[in-house]
Chains A and B, each alone.
Chain A
Amino acid sequence: MSILTHIAGWPLVAALALVFVPRNYRVIIRAVALLATFVSMVLAIKMFCHYGSAEAGPSGYRFEQQIPWVESLGISYHVGVDGLNVGLILMGAIVAFAAALCSWEIQSREKEFYILLLLMSGGILGAFASLDLFFFYFLHELALVPTFIMIGVWGRGARRNYAAFQITIYLSIGALLALIGLIALYLEAGANTFDIPALIKYAKVNPLSADAQHFIFPLLLFGFGILVSLWPFHSWAPLGYGAAPSPTAMIHAGILKKFGLYGLIRVALPLMPQAAHSWMNILAWLCLGNILYVGWVTMRQRDLNLLIGNSSVAHMGFIFLGIASLNLIGITGAVFVMVAHGFLAALTFALSGYIYQKTGTLEMSELGGLCRKLRFVGTVLVMAAMAGCGLPGFANFVGEVSVFFASWTVFPVVTVLAVWGALVIGGIYMTRAVRNILHGPLPERYANLPDAGLWRKLPYALLLASLLVFGCFPKLLTDQITPDADKIVSMANPMPDQGRVTVSQIETPGAPN
């Protein structure tokens, strides 16, 4: 069995096992969940380290495994990694473990919570590993539905019911549009298989007709776009994250949201190059909506969670911009930001969860001076905020700067405007949040706030370390992304691409590499 099956399988099997554990064995329930996500993370790290030396399987992916499932439809359980998803799986497994560690804030119905958490983690890791369109969608849907239930049951705030229904309906529309697109893609391709490598191979000889491409591509673009909170379909995200318990927000904002982007890169670009080209212009302008408009909205937020939620929507704009530029640096940068933002979103939601737990509020006007009491948490929050506005040394910088280099050649106007959004707007809201929460006078009632204990520091340290490692040694990731991003780019651009530059030439200036 492939190591990927184990990475996704451990949480899923643990979820099943928890069904049979009596609900009052709280320690055991928690231990099982932690163990499963920990094993999954260790395996993911092992997979990442051995990626370079692993041999490619029959379809050119590493750690491949294929088992027929429904032969008459050409559906098989097929997993494998290449440069595009190796980083995402590593990020997903680390975030899932961190989210399980942060779940101490859940005090009621722990059993159900951990079952849903494990379903989410296992489902989405499986979706990223999957090379079969059906399982790709199926496992994501399996991971998505627990989100809705978790927001409804364990959510916070008066508007959690509204938020739960809004996110359910919004994301279901997105998922169903994408489903229609995927089914139509399967039927139009005519290869009678849901296997992505087989479809791509088939499409090289028999490309999809232009009509079909122009019908299917928007379905996938907007279906996946809604899942990723592409402007103007983003309004579910801040509210939903604001109401979600923090482990759910960590997994959703960190991992699940990358599914739509990954789907665009993995499926839509290589199979429908013509339609992709005609839509990329529009996509570039839409992502300005994410970066500038949502950036402005973020500046006005008074609640820390809404601020983080909005800023995570704004960050999606960079990834879309990278995809829209359709060149090697852009795609590489987009994948890099996906990984980096996963760590960052999880880290910020984990920290805001801690602050909420201890103070009972996230209104920034109620907070202040917390750095004096929460030395560790406060420091990490400052670093996370700096990573969020793109400080060199953190992984986000590498990805975002590559995206700008890439998009400059294609959409100069958009790039100029986006850079403003990235540097100025991001800087304003992040530093303002830091000032309001961590500096200034400490309100009386917070005089006895305890800083995080050793166990609770672990998830923050883990996520921060990942951000720093990939920020200082981006080569670890870019070396693996580039060859496969190159394949995607060459399929998406039937014309020969002039003047290709590799990412290693534009590495972080100050990074010790």
Chain B
Amino acid sequence: MSSWRKKIEGYIEPRFQVSAIRDFARKKKVPEHRHSFWYFFGGICLFLFLLQVVTGILLLLYYTPSVDAAHESVQFIMSQVKFGWLVRSVHSWTANILVGFLFIHMFSAFFLKAYRPPRELTWITGFLLLVLFLAFGFSGYLLPWNELSFFATRVGTDIAGVIPWVGKALKTFILGGPEVSGATLTRFFWLHVAVLPAFALLIMGVHILLVQTLGMSKPIGTGETKEISFFPEFILRDSLAWLLILAAIGAICVFLPWEAGPKADPFASTPLGIKPEWYFTFMFTTLKLVPAHIFSIEGEVLAVMGFLLGGLFLMFVPLLDRRAAREKRSPVFTAIGLAVLVYIVLMTALTYLAPNIGK
């Protein structure tokens, strides 16, 4: 080892104790079995998040969060700023891809029952991250202030307004008034670049720390398995996936750059076929299909309550699935998860294949 390298290590080691991290990384193992493919999705989500952070910070250089300038600034980024089209397209496309991978990550962890003790908190923080990223998507969608996002936000916040007792107050809080306006744009910007990142970093920190300290969960009934080193073997495999995804995102952005769309006109009538972002469409179509009244309760209220209860069920599934906690198979929970997945896929597909269904 050269003397200057020794000097640097001599300076860093007492201050940061890097050797502890190095030793931890050296010792850390990842189980290898026929389901270990699903382990990669967490890392992919992290990579996509980092991509969002980098492109988001770059977009902040030119984006202006006001009704008069938001759309114009996005237009400017797309047409005038060097590589602005790429940065914005990567940001918009990755946002959607990230939400897709988050769903895959969540459902794979659900079906592998990775929420079993002692990983309850890993699951709960993961679920909270999914909610946070949905909020990221919802708030970010409005920021270009274009026609589609404006009316989709109106539709989306109408869903929130249906929640019993707190719905109206919640809707007013989200919108900063009774309607989607300049106040909503400022509020969504505040959420998107300050509040949500702070919470996301905090929860993600806990989530990753737990994954690192508790290690990867093995599916029920998997006995002793082969193991690979986290560093470098697992990291290398994960990074291979990152590279392939990066290449795919690049190609998508070049051939299908994310459009700025026409500027929102609050006085225009709602365009036909308006719908929220794809990851909210299963709720949107449910609300369209639900009957006006079910047992004298408003159908919409019941549906929204159903989603909230479904969310709570998913969040607290580690506490409910007692069989899995005892390392026993729990087919009931697998069936419930499967039903939820099929429902989401079916409703999302219906939104696009039968747009005129329901009301």
A pairs with B: no
> What is the interface of chain B, defined by CB distance below 8 A to chain A?
none
